[in-house]
Amino acid sequence: MLSMIVAASENNAIGKYNELLWHLPKDLKYFKEVTSGHCIIMGRKTFDSIGKPLPKRRNIVITRREEFEVEGVEVANDIEAAIDMVGEDQEPFIVGGGTIYEQALHYVNRVYLTRVHAHVNGDTFFPELDLNEWQRVLHESHKKDAKHAYDFSFEVWDRKKD
């Protein structure tokens, strides 16, 4: 089962200038818990913003740059090649960015969405989930506090069966 994990605002913004739009420690912890031990697939710009392979995960980066080579990272030329590389992983994750989310959404069966309850200005967006195709199976609310500037919710969306 191919999954996707993302934090998006109410207007689906996920980033600006190749950086996240917020700092939510609980969301970072959630991302780590959900993806650890699994394969993660990301675009090169997302990898550049992270700056290094994420530990305890198999890292696959999608890029057309032939010279791209980083220790601890496997390289794929497109989303299909990256998915083919996954192998035996029971739940590999698409982790960004915007273009990769758009290209991968029709392959995905589950979306782990942290919904940040704010409208923010971004230049990178998560595609809208078609509610005719997706159903929310989990919703867990969190209020803003000293460490979290926004209210947010952890949501899990599963693709509806035909």
Give per-residue pLDDT as tens, 51-74. Answer: 999 999 999 999 998 888 889 999
Pairing relation of β-strands 73-76 and 110-116?
Answer: unpaired
Q: Phi, psi at residue 134, to the nearest 5°?
A: -125, 145
Q: Mapping DSSP to helix (H, G, I), strand (E, B) and coil, where does residue 3 land?
A: strand
- CA–CA distance, 39 with 14 (Å, rounded to integer): 21
Indicate whether 94 pLDDT > 90: yes
Q: Which domains does the chain have, with CATH numbers?
A: 3-18+25-134 (3.40.430.10)
Judge if pTM exceeds 0.85: yes
Least confident of 86-95, 108-117, 136-145: 86-95
